[in-house]
Amino acid sequence: MATSQVETISTGADKAKLAAAGTLVVAALAAFYLLGKQGLWVQWAVLLLGLGAAIAVFFASESGRQLAAFGRDAWREVKKVVWPARKEAMQITAYVFGFVLIMAMFLWLTDKTLEWVFYDLILGWKK
């Protein structure tokens, strides 16, 4: 029987870093709205600086490092993918469109047949 383990934030320092990152996001948003009379440039500068600081603090935590490692691993896997050539991609797309068209016609025909059977033959509700 396989059991999955749930990883939690283990150290107080990581909890403090995540709390600081959340606080910085809230402070940046609050400053953006509170500095409305200072001008649009000041508002956006404070917002972007606050969000940048929050991101920097987040990536200094263990959760941030794990997220960055996951991103690196995902990018490494994407680079391993063998993408189809243009001709092959066009052929596959044509097959999908053809299948969708045939399926749509089948479902429409099934719907109309069931409508005819139920409403005309069984219930006798002529249109």
Mean pLDDT of the chain: 91
The pTM score is 0.59
pLDDT category at 122 given cuts 50, 70, 90 is confident
Long-range contacts of 94-97 (CB under 8 A, 24+ apart): none
Instruction: Encode pLDDT of 54-67 as tens digits.
Output: 999 999 999 999 99
Which residues are CB-contacts of 9 (< 8 A; sequence separation ≥ 6)?
15, 18, 61, 62, 63
Query: With 60 as the cut, is the pLDDT of residue 2 above it?
Result: no
pLDDT category at 123 given cuts 50, 70, 90 is confident
| DSSP helix, strand, coil percent of the chain (3-state; round to 5) | 80, 0, 20
Instruction: Encode pLDDT of 7-20 as tens digits.
Output: 565 688 899 999 99
Query: With 80 as the cut, is the pLDDT of residue 5 above it?
Result: no
Q: Which pLDDT score, from 0 to 100, does residue 127 have?
A: 58
Who wins on pLDDT, 38 or 125? 38
Instruction: Encode pLDDT of 65-96 as tens digits.
Output: 999 999 999 999 999 999 899 999 999 999 99
Instruction: Encode pLDDT of 18-36 as tens digits.
Output: 999 999 999 999 999 999 8
